[in-house]
Structure 1
């Protein structure tokens, strides 16, 4: 499956080869696909599963736009990790469990950023939830790419590896 995904992405990379490195293109392709999945799932969860209604839990009531956010992320978290690990940052030499833990920390920060931006856009600026999700996604994707490249899936130099 990995080879099939790489062949498709790399085929479309050719026209962009002079504009950006292959890794950046792969991130945009995988991240874009996962983000599109997230937005579609969010729209479905918000409009058709939750019917724009509050979610009442025993000790907490959650607004539908926030509940839909968490519902869509429960699917896109594992798909995003697998795409990042095996397609985009496959040259990382960090252990898988360290990558997963760091990815979890990154996603936690992204959830917090999503929550803050969604609250701001929907409840204070009164922007429609799906449009707010698109704006929020733009900011969070930029943060996510830089964090994944420099922290979650970084490549340790061989000199540092030999010291330990």
Structure 2
């Protein structure tokens, strides 16, 4: 049994009423995969912000990044590839669209997510004066709604439900 099949079996253990009467299995798998990726991303963000960047400005020569934005940018590639793999192999595994096309579509939808996340993070930290990690959590919640709609209606739109 491969890793994706094992993950599906574990997720499906929790697919019972009342959840199964409300959500289609594919939506449930997407939500669990997305939630796991978000939690993992929050953990990465916390570790990068507090220990790797150490809450300091990151001077790249041409530009200086605030620590909360630098942590977001360093967390991004990790969650990007993990999210694509989980979507492709667990949530939308019956999509007839070739992997390369899906990756391009996923990159476009994630680019939109990055913009939404960036704007929310800047707003929460710099306007609302909320600490960086809770701000990232709030931004992630808002971004998740956009991300689900983009995956369902753009990236993996031809995926048959399992």
TM normalised by structure 1 equals 0.93
Indicate which of 128, 150, 155 corresponds to 2:153: 150
Contact between 2:151 and 2:157, CA under 8 Å: does it hold in 1? yes
The whole-number CA distance in structure 2 between the counterparts of 1:125 and 1:27 is 31
| Structure 2 partner of 1:101 | 104
The whole-number CA distance in structure 2 between the counterparts of 1:19 and 1:40 is 30
Indicate which of 10, 14, 35 corresponds to 1:8: 10
Alignment of 1:50-89 (within 5 A): 50-89=53-92
| Structure 1 partner of 2:128 | 125
State the 4+ residue runs in structure 1 displaced beyond 6 angstroms. none
| Aligned: 1:113 with 2:116 | yes
How many residues in Structure 1 have an aligned counterpart in Structure 2?
157
Please state how far the C-alpha of 1:117 moved relative to its aligned partner: 0.6
Largest Rg, 1 or 2: 1
The whole-number CA distance in structure 2 between the counterparts of 1:20 and 1:108 is 27
| Aligned: 1:36 with 2:39 | yes
| Structure 1 partner of 2:93 | 90
> Any stretches of 5+ residues in structure 1 without a counterpart?
158-164
The whole-number CA distance in structure 1 between the counterparts of 2:93 and 2:5 is 12
The whole-number CA distance in structure 2 between the counterparts of 1:6 and 1:84 is 11
Contact between 2:49 and 2:71, CA under 8 Å: does it hold in 1? yes
Please state how far the C-alpha of 1:134 moved relative to its aligned partner: 1.0
Q: What's the CA shift string for 1:92-130, capped at 9, x where partnerless? A: 111111100010011111111111111111011111111
Secondary structure of the residue that 2:158 maps to in structure 1? coil
The root-mean-square deviation of aligned C-alpha atoms, in Å, is 1.2
Please state how far the C-alpha of 1:156 moved relative to its aligned partner: 7.5
The whole-number CA distance in structure 1 between the counterparts of 2:137 and 2:62 is 30
Secondary structure of the residue that 2:16 maps to in structure 1? helix
